[in-house]
Amino acid sequence: MRKIHIAAGLAALAVAGWLLPPYYAGLVVDGLIFAIFALGVNLLLGHTGLPSLGHAAYFGMGAYAAGLTAIHVSQSFWIGAAAGIGGALLLGAVYGLLALRTAGVYFLMITLALGQIAWAVAFSWRRVTGGDDGLRGVPRPDLGIPGLLDDRNAYFLFALACCIAAGLLMAAIIRSPFGRSLRGIHENPQRMEALGYRVWLHKYLAFVLSAGFSGFAGVVFVYYKGFVSPEAASIVISAEAMLMVIVGGAATTFGPVVGAFIIITLSHVVSGYTDRWPLILGLLYIAVVLLAPQGVVALARRHLLRRAVR
Amino acid sequence: MMQRVLRCRASRRPGRCRYWWDQYSADNQGANDMMRKFAAATVVAAVAAGTSWGATAQETVRIGVLGPNTGPYAVIGEEVKNGFEMFFAEKGNKAGNVKVEVLFEDDQAKPDVGMTKAQKLVERDKVAFLGGVVSSSVAYALRDYAVNQNVPLVVTVASADGLTQKQAAPVIFRTNSSGSQASHPFGKWLADQGYKRLVMMAPNYAMGYEQTGGFARTFTAAGGKIVKSLYPPLGAADFGPFLTAFDPKQADALAAVFAGAEAIKYVKQFSEYGLKGTIPLVGTSLLTDDLILAQQGDAAIGITTAMHYSSALDNPENKAFVDAYQKRYNRTPTFYSEGSYVGARVIHDALVARNGDTKDKPALLKAMHDVDFVAPRGRFRFDDRNSPINDIYVFRVEKEGGKLVNKPIAKFDSISQFYTWTPEAFMAMPDYASVANDWAK
Amino acid sequence: MTFWSIQILNGLSLAMLLFLLASGLSVIFGLMRFINLAHGSFYLLGAYAGLSVIRVTDSFWAALVLAPLAVAVIGVALQRLLLHRVQSNELAQVLLTFGVLLVVSDLSLWIWGGLPQTLSRPAILEGSWRWGGIVFPIYRLALTITGIVVAIAIWLFLERTRIGAIVRAGVDDEEMVRGIGVNIGAVFSAVFAVGAGLAGLAGVLGGAMLGVYPGADFEVVLQAFAVVVIGGLGSLRGAFIGSLFIGMVDTLGKSLMPDLALFTIFVPMVAMLAIRPSGLFGRA
């Protein structure tokens, strides 16, 4: 895709965000938050080939850390984000040491268990996290001007900016030599090892970075909603993030963003029309895995390529 | 320029083709055109959507009801739906001269889904009232939103104390008893009946702490002693370890509050471990609500609980309510549906008093606050913080005509959420969740 | 003394229920390298199917036979139609079976409603056994004995029959088994059917003890995975020991340290995976 197309698309999105009624702007913000989350999951899943079923732990950590900071310490975005991302990075660093002792299906299981432990902490530690009642009353960041982001459309632009920043950073990581090494490790770890790459270190860094991105998504989430509950760290969220990556396209750069928007839109639209939406969501998981395992972006690319080349 | 060409797709027989006609555009223009058209269309659509969503003329008053329609609490969500639906069906979907439309949304008992649905109801569907809500965490999340948007929220199930205490607001109303409301008089009653030592059990989250904390406070104030308190994790499959973790000879009664599927398991296992007949089981009527009583079977007979409602209350309003509910939904109503039925009535009566005017918010809120009518549970009215002042009954589970019912055996008149304390004194005390482990010291 | 005896009996009965559930999961993984998150769905379907059978025939024993059979059939159908397509891709297996879990969960809600229910037990299994100072439900004793009997039956099958030998060979080295001409596809399907049937049986037995309700599938699937992680994937002995371990740790943990009850399963799981991922007896 040409850069001018992307820029035009983003500009259109910004304009639309300003004009959309607050309810719809809110839905797009949801999409942007999960887009950042999915980008993080993709770094680990799509590029390094490590499927994690517990990534919501970092999302939740980012949200709780930023939320607690905003309530008790400071309404500054930078401090809150630093707390959120920092917390997520720390959790990722600790969890990564444990998780990377395993591979394949065992990696899946240990990340599942670690994710559940994070959820259990959020649920049990009432004094800090509010337990199952959740943490509420998180104020919007003030960015220097009090009340600037109270308006939902204003927050939309802010979330868009965050998402663009995350996307650019992710694109830079993916295109860098580090990113290419990750894909090499995905394909053939033994060969990379033989070539002299420190495979474990690469995996570990990818793990921690991916946790950081997920934590950043949590920060944007808690500032938007004004609250967070242990649900945010649940396995259902982790699975949804994985699905967004798969639907969008696992090995692509921006596939996860597309996937996030597709899933968010579908789940809101569908649940508005029928109570049977878990059924439909489940069928979607099955359909995507069987019919479009490469994801939407890859499908679209192939389709457009076929049309363009002759 | 479009052209057709014969193409070959690989087939199962090696060296053979599955032929098909493919159309393609003979130059690059097509792809770029498509992209540009798509981008333009998106922008136009977004702008159109934005501007066309102006306020539509409103002769119908809409009410947005939230509840879990999926997941483990789906059956309570159904009760909420039924309560609202039945009430307005009886009124011909009108409140005085104004038409009323009730919209139902699934909050999945999750706060952020609840928020999104509430936003949809208020901002897109332009509801004038929000109602229902089963999960306390959803209720807390919605409380801030309702206050910001100045939309009345009538909570009909979620029992978190804080909603009408520290987090009270003029737009927040509650029609169910608060978590500790029924427990306060019950604790004292237990002491008066001669019980001196209690073991307490409840699930390890706010609902459990509040429901049992209420009787712990009044029971100990009346001279009783809490010998042990246990809080099994929410969703415990098996209460065996907990039911056998104390010595029945140490206590005069086991005071437990569980709800739904847990309550069924608990009561049955209470009997299986030989505790039934050895020690009485008491609690609030969440433990033996009308929905689960049939499932619990004879194991439930003799359990004594307290609440503001059971389907066995003997008054004309309740008889009519139970008959109508039975006819319409083929099962007995519970305090979940009664609470929703009453919630619908609060909105209805306020609308009638205001002649359908929802624009003058302070007047509307006052009309809602001032309601005073006879509900299936008895007289219904709000206290200063929009929490109900109810009669609380003590019920005992008995078999009547082959069916298990919660039969009223005692009554306390006009109990509010603060019981005998002043609001200030009550709220100055630490909340039940933080002292949950301190009762048994 | 009474306290410990009862807790041990509690732990044993829970362990046997978990064993019935997890043994299928473990052997399926060992043989087919297939992670089945929908195993919880088999449990749920078994419980609900049992409920329906009891409603129609009023016989618990009929449910005990028919429900697992029904689940086994559904399991094989699922495997042949859907699951074998993602045979080699772990991630796809996880997502696909998660999708199946969601679909079955919602369909069950639709068909049987959201009201928590319990399967009614025959009169001889009701009531309590009293001995010394101990009062213990007869049903749980029966469950424990059933679990042990089934465990012995499966062990005999695997060790003493020809098909059992093929299954064990397949777990050790699938390619070799193909190489000697065995129709491994049929073996897979048969094993899957038995695994699903066992989960269905666990559903009926568990449903009569703990009840059946929306969400039961998610609860048990996590416990089942904890068992196979501890015990080791692919090993029957591992599933048995793992069930005993989780059953005991969970029961004792909950009664002695209720505040930490949510952690009693996941912490051992993480510890085992970090130290010895293949579990106690697993074949990596």
Q: Where are the domains of chain C?
A: 2-116+130-275
Please check the confidence at residue A270 and state whether its pLDDT lies above 90.
no
Task: Point out the residue among B230, B241, B265 whose CB comes nearest to the CB of C210.
Answer: B265
The whole-angstrom separation of Cα C17 and Cα C3 is 21
For residue B51, what pLDDT band results from cuts at 50, 70 and 90? very low
Q: Range(s) for CATH 3.40.50.2300 in chain B?
A: 61-158+315-376, 183-310+393-435
- CB contact A286 to B (< 8 Å): no
Task: Point out the residue among A45, A124, A239 whose CB comes nearest to the CB of C98.
Answer: A239
| Residues on chain B bordering chain C, Cβ-to-Cβ distance under 8 angstroms | 70-75, 77-78, 204, 230-233, 235-238, 240-242, 244-245, 260-261, 264-265, 268-269, 272-275, 291-292, 295
- Greater model confidence, A132 or C155: C155
Please check the confidence at residue B26 and state whether its pLDDT lies above 80.
no
For residue C26, what pLDDT band results from cuts at 50, 70 and 90? confident
- CB contact C8 to A (< 8 Å): no
The confidence score (pLDDT) of residue B57 equals 41
- CB contact C86 to A (< 8 Å): yes
Chain C, nearest residue to A276 by Cα: C106
Q: How close, in Å, is residue B83 to chain C by CA atoms?
A: 17
Q: What is the dotted CATH code of the domain comprising C2-116+130-275?
A: 1.10.3470
- What would the pLDDT profile of B209-259 be if each residue is shown by its tens digit? 999 999 899 999 999 999 999 888 876 767 887 888 888 888 999 999 998
Chain A, nearest residue to B27 by Cα: A308
Cross-chain residue pair B264–C118, CB shorter than 8 Å = yes
The verdict on residue A71 lying in a domain is yes
Within 8 A of A45 by CB-CB distance, chain C residues are: 91
In what helix (H) or strand (E) does residue C44 lie, and over which residues does it extend? helix C39-57
- What would the pLDDT profile of C97-118 be if each residue is shown by its tens digit? 888 998 999 999 889 988 888 8
Within 8 A of C278 by CB-CB distance, chain A residues are: 106
Task: Point out the residue among A19, A23, A304 whose CB comes nearest to the CB of B120.
Answer: A23
Q: How close, in Å, is residue C151 to chain A by CA atoms?
A: 25
Within 8 A of A136 by CB-CB distance, chain B residues are: 140-141, 144
Closest CA to A67 of B111, B13, C242, B437: B111
For residue B47, what pLDDT band results from cuts at 50, 70 and 90? very low
- CB contact A277 to B (< 8 Å): yes
The confidence score (pLDDT) of residue A87 equals 96
The confidence score (pLDDT) of residue B50 equals 43
Cross-chain residue pair B241–C130, CB shorter than 8 Å = no
Structural domains of chain A, count = 1
Q: Which residues constitute the domain of residue A184?
A: 3-234
Q: How many CB pairs below 8 Å do chains A and C form together?
A: 113
Per-window interface: B 65-104 vs A, CB < 8 A: 69-70
For residue B39, what pLDDT band results from cuts at 50, 70 and 90? very low
Give the contacts of C188 (CB within 8 A, at least 6 positions apart).
Answer: C31, C32, C79, C84
- CB contact A4 to B (< 8 Å): no
The verdict on residue A197 lying in a domain is yes
- What would the pLDDT profile of A200-214 be if each residue is shown by its tens digit? 999 999 999 999 999
The confidence score (pLDDT) of residue B23 equals 54
The whole-angstrom separation of Cα B62 and Cα B50 is 22
The confidence score (pLDDT) of residue C121 equals 85
The confidence score (pLDDT) of residue A285 equals 83
Give the contacts of B357 (CB within 8 A, at least 6 positions apart).
Answer: B363, B364
- What would the pLDDT profile of C55-70 be if each residue is shown by its tens digit? 999 889 999 999 999 9
Please check the confidence at residue B30 and state whether its pLDDT lies above 50.
no
Please check the confidence at residue C244 and state whether its pLDDT lies above 90.
yes
Please state which of the four CATH numbers 3.40.190.10, 3.40.50.2300, 3.90.1280.10, 2.40.50.140 is assigned to the domain occupying B183-310+393-435: 3.40.50.2300
Q: What is the mean pLDDT of residues C129-156?
A: 88
Cross-chain residue pair B124–A9, CB shorter than 8 Å = no
CA torsion sign for C116, C67, C216, B271 is positive
Within 8 A of C214 by CB-CB distance, chain B residues are: 70-72, 74
Give the contacts of C52 (CB within 8 A, at least 6 positions apart).
Answer: C112
Chain C, nearest residue to B244 by Cα: C3
Q: What percent of chain B has pLDDT over 70?
A: 86
Range with top average pLDDT, A57-66, B234-243, B296-305 = A57-66
The verdict on residue A264 lying in a domain is no
CATH topology of domain B61-158+315-376: Rossmann fold (3.40.50)
Cross-chain residue pair C6–B74, CB shorter than 8 Å = no
- What would the pLDDT profile of B327-385 be if each residue is shown by its tens digit? 999 999 999 999 999 999 999 999 999 988 888 999 999 999 999 999 999 999 999 99
Cross-chain residue pair B292–C139, CB shorter than 8 Å = no
- Greater model confidence, C154 or A310: C154
